[in-house]
Amino acid sequence: MAAISRDEVAHLARLARIEMSSEELDHLASELDQILHAVDRVQEAAKDDVPPTSHPLPLKNVTRPDVVIPSLSPEDALSGAPASDEQRFKVPQILGDAE
Amino acid sequence: MALTYDDVIAKYEPTLGLEVHVELNTNTKMFCGCSTEFGGEPNTQTCPVCLGLPGSLPVVNEVAIESAIKIGLALNCSIAPFSRFARKNYFYPDMPKDFQISQYDEPICVNGFLDVEIDTDEGVKTFRVEIERVHMEEDTGKSLHVGGSTGRIHGAEYSLLDYNRAGIPLMEIVTKMIPGTEKYAPQVARAYVTELRDILRSLGVSDVKMEQGSLRCDANVSLSPRGSGTLGTRSETKNVNSLRSVERAIHGEMIRQGNRLENGERIIQETRHFLEESGETRPGRSKETAEDYRYFQEPDLVPVAPDASWIEEIRATLPERPSVRRKRLQTEWAVPEKEMTAMINAELLDTVEATVKLGADPTKARTWWLGEISRVANEKEVEAISLMTPAQVAEIILLVASGELTDKLARQVVEGVIAGEGTPREVIEKRGLKVVSDDSALMAAIEAAIASQPDTAQRVRDGNIPAAGALIGAVMKATGGQADAARVRELLLKHLGQ
């Protein structure tokens, strides 16, 4: 039983805006399937006494005081942008709707 | 023929759901030290963290956590002993990271409620709105769509992004489904958002300005045929930018859905946009399902696990609930309902309370703030509180109470203070506005009036009391309006043997 279907991979590719050929989808579906099976094996080893974790360090409540730190200049902020206009990042036409 | 609102209600039961987003008024953003000040030049409040540059790491703003806990406690929520952040992945340039840091299955506050009061046909009724969750996230940047004719996205050639707002702490407050509101659904929605806004303001955690977008409401509504026991498909209306719009949006959407259902059409689960002019909604972006956001735990942030003792400390600092406070003040001040509402709508309750606390009579304080001062404020298009301080108003009211000023003189003092002539005392000095309370000075003026109008004086002596008006008028004129007319009358009549 495959852990991930070719259709699911195609769906993820669409969500991630990655164009994939039919061959690439076949190839990636098979690779991702192997990876997910490997993760399943790890999960078998983790019993109820192992809590799910998002972080390898036993840290919590790392915060900073609410004190303003100088921001980048707009020139620096925009320096890595492929395009800018009116001191704003310029991006191609967006499909969908404005928030 | 199209169904009216009453027709819709006769056939269908509405179910509401409200999502309120509120920007916190912290100095800095949720995960970086950039300023949150409103209205800055584009992209002057960004850094590698809020621009999502490689290698940058977010760190949580401690005040934002405290504000989230305050909000949760004020809404009767449980504060989670352990909560985490998650990445909400989507491709839209309003977030430069291509994801928004939010909370998903482990929000900081859960299971609260808020009671709101509505005027119904059977009198005032309380509706309990249950709160599902309050979670922390970050606001998005602002897009400007260029090209095309309308500034809207369709037909736009490109978009310009300002990320000053990206990363500002945002709290999302989500209700459970609210059934049983019947025809009052639009009013319940408005009352809920109003009460929530007042609470957030009393907590001091947000500016709660709907017109500036620091408080935003998404209104979900669905209809189900009466007695069907099923739940209809809901729509979600965005762009609801005022309390009145909340009410109108629900009202309009109920009529639209009712008419679709009546024509045998399906309700599509979608995001709709409220149109301020018509009170109707238009379809927006089709809703991606929650699954499509591919939430996963944010690996760059550690869990938030507030100490029980800290939560209790915060609980002890919570202010009186605004609705409770309003009722208390209304009773203490003996204010009629209508005036109370006027005071609240003018946002002068705090100001009047501050004035009363300085010793002023509540009715007088209310009258000055809502009357003369508000009138001038409206003329000048400024806030009443920018013209005078509660201390100045209280001082003037006390001077009237002690007889040093008449109401008429007090008006001139207010005028002088607003004109920047100084404190009430200074205005009184400069304009020479003291009431002439020295009886001997008054007597001199009275005798002069009698001497100039002997016939009138005789008529008063003969018992024609109303004739005294002309003499009193002369005395008031002679003293520049600074005498207490009642005292003048008393002295005059006595002098003329009446």
- Element holding A25 (H helix, E strand): helix A22-45
Question: Residue B143's closest chain A neighbor by CA?
Answer: A98
How many helices, marked H, and strands, marked E, lie in chain A? Answer: 3, 3
Using only C-alpha atoms, chain A has a radius of gyration, in whole angstroms, of: 22
Is B158 in Cβ contact with A93 (below 8 Å)? yes
Average pLDDT over residues B413-442: 84
- Element holding B56 (H helix, E strand): none
Q: Quote the CA–CA distance of B147 and B317 in Å, as a whole number.
A: 51
Per CB-CB distance under 8 Å, the chain A contacts of B60 are 62-64
A38 lies in which domain range? 6-45
Q: Classify B237 as helix, strand or coil.
A: strand
Residue B157: predicted pLDDT: 84
Is A91 in Cβ contact with B158 (below 8 Å)? yes
Residue B149: predicted pLDDT: 58
Q: Average pLDDT over chain A, rounded to whole?
A: 88
More confident call, A61 vs B408: A61
Residue B483 has pLDDT above 80, yes or no: no
**How close A99 comes to chain B (CA, Å)?**
8
pLDDT band at B442 (very low <50, low <70, confident <90, very high): confident
In a domain, A11, yes or no: yes
Write out pLDDT tens, residues A38-96: 998 888 888 888 877 777 788 999 999 999 999 999 999 999 999 999 999 999 876 55
In a domain, A13, yes or no: yes
Residue B265 CA, chain-centre distance (Å), reads 39
* B272 interfacial to chain A (CB closer than 8 Å): no
Residue B128: predicted pLDDT: 97
**How close A33 comes to chain B (CA, Å)?**
18
Least confident span in B273-282, B284-293, B350-359, B466-475:
B284-293
ipTM for the predicted complex comes to 0.86
Question: Residue A63's closest chain B neighbor by CA?
Answer: B60
Residue B66: predicted pLDDT: 98
Query: Which residues 139-168 in chain B show a CB within 8 A of chain A?
Result: 140, 143-147, 152-153, 156-163
Write out pLDDT tens, residues B132-158: 999 999 999 999 888 765 555 566 788
Q: What are phi and psi of B76, to 5 degrees?
A: 60, 30
CA proximity to B166, closest of B94, B111, B241: B94
Residue B153: predicted pLDDT: 57
Q: Which residues contact B163 (CB under 8 A, 6 or more apart)?
A: A77, A89, B43, B45, B46, B50, B51, B96, B141
Residue B238 CA, chain-centre distance (Å), reads 20
In a domain, A80, yes or no: no
Residue B154: predicted pLDDT: 61
* B136 interfacial to chain A (CB closer than 8 Å): no
Question: Residue B160's closest chain A neighbor by CA?
Answer: A90
Largest CA distance in chain A: 56
Q: Average pLDDT over chain B, rounded to whole?
A: 91
Residue A84: predicted pLDDT: 95
Write out pLDDT tens, residues B202-250: 999 999 999 888 999 999 999 999 988 888 999 999 879 899 999 999 9
Q: Which tokens hold the place of B298?
A: 């944010």
Write out pLDDT tens, residues B17-52: 999 999 999 999 999 999 999 999 999 999 999 999
Is A99 in Cβ contact with B43 (below 8 Å)? no
Q: Quote the CA–CA distance of B249 and B244 in Å, as a whole number.
A: 9
In a domain, A55, yes or no: no
* B312 interfacial to chain A (CB closer than 8 Å): no
Residue B285: predicted pLDDT: 62
More confident call, B485 vs B186: B186
Of the candidates B42, B64, B91, which has its C-beta nearest A86's C-beta? B42
Q: Classify B306 as helix, strand or coil.
A: coil
> Quick one: angle between helices B62-74 and B185-203, nearest 10?
130
In a domain, A20, yes or no: yes
Q: Which parts of B232-348 fold into alpha helices (H)?
A: 243-262, 308-316, 322-333, 337-345
Is B298 in Cβ contact with A54 (below 8 Å)? yes
**How close B265 comes to chain A (CA, Å)?**
24
The residues pairing with B237 across neighbouring beta strands, listed in sequence order, are B219, B272
Question: Residue B41's closest chain A neighbor by CA?
Answer: A87
* B91 interfacial to chain A (CB closer than 8 Å): yes
Is residue B170 within 8 A of residue B141, CB to CB? The reply is no
Percentage of the residues of chain B whose pLDDT score is greater than 90:
65
Is A67 in Cβ contact with B27 (below 8 Å)? yes
Residue B341 has pLDDT above 90, yes or no: no
Residue B472 has pLDDT above 90, yes or no: no
pLDDT band at A99 (very low <50, low <70, confident <90, very high): very low
Write out pLDDT tens, residues B300-334: 999 999 999 999 999 999 999 998 999 999 999 99
**How close A7 comes to chain B (CA, Å)?**
14
User: Choosing among B27, B157, B302, B309, which should be mutated to test the A contact, i.e. which has the most A CBs within 10 A?
Assistant: B302
Q: Quote the CA–CA distance of A72 and A81 in Å, as a whole number.
A: 14
Q: Which parts of B142-277 fold into alpha helices (H)?
A: 185-203, 243-262
Beta strands in B140-190 (DSSP E): 142-146, 158-162, 169-175
Q: Quote the CA–CA distance of B430 and B421 in Å, as a whole number.
A: 8
Q: Quote the CA–CA distance of B478 and B330 in Å, as a whole number.
A: 43
Question: Residue B151's closest chain A neighbor by CA?
Answer: A98
Residue A61: predicted pLDDT: 95
CA proximity to A72, closest of B96, B78, B270, B21: B96
Residue A19: predicted pLDDT: 92
Question: Residue B273's closest chain A neighbor by CA?
Answer: A99
CA proximity to B137, closest of B106, B107, B101: B101
* B299 interfacial to chain A (CB closer than 8 Å): yes
Write out pLDDT tens, residues B5-26: 999 999 999 999 999 999 999 9
Is A87 in Cβ contact with B53 (below 8 Å)? no
The number of folded domains in chain A is 1
More confident call, A82 vs B483: A82
Residue A98: predicted pLDDT: 43
In a domain, A65, yes or no: no
pLDDT band at B478 (very low <50, low <70, confident <90, very high): confident
Per CB-CB distance under 8 Å, the chain A contacts of B49 are none
Query: Which residues 56-85 in chain B show a CB within 8 A of chain A?
Result: 59-65, 82, 84
Please spell the DSSP secondary structure of B263-279, one letter per residue: TTPPPP--EEEE-TTTS
Burial (Cβ within 10 Å: 0-12, 13-18, ≥19) of residue B89: middle
Is A85 in Cβ contact with B33 (below 8 Å)? no
Please give the domain boundaries of chain B with CATH numbers for all domains: 5-310 (no CATH), 320-431 (no CATH), 439-495 (1.10.10)
In a domain, A14, yes or no: yes
Q: Which tokens hold the place of B239?
A: 């762009």
Q: Quote the CA–CA distance of B49 and B63 in Å, as a whole number.
A: 18
Least confident span in B116-130, B148-162, B196-210, B336-350:
B148-162
Residue A95: predicted pLDDT: 58
Query: Which residues 17-56 in chain B show a CB within 8 A of chain A?
Result: 26-28, 32-35, 41-48, 51, 53
Residue B457: predicted pLDDT: 86
The residues pairing with B273 across neighbouring beta strands, listed in sequence order, are B238, B282
CATH number of the domain where residue A24 is located = 1.10.20
Residue A83: predicted pLDDT: 95
Alpha-carbon torsion B166, B169, B175, B181, what sign? Answer: negative
In angstroms, what CA-CA distances link B451 with B443, B475, B481?
Answer: 12, 12, 20
Q: Classify B287 as helix, strand or coil.
A: coil
Of the candidates A61, A77, A89, which has its C-beta nearest B160's C-beta? A89
Q: Quote the CA–CA distance of B475 and B482 in Å, as a whole number.
A: 10
Residue B55: predicted pLDDT: 93
Average pLDDT over residues B183-202: 96
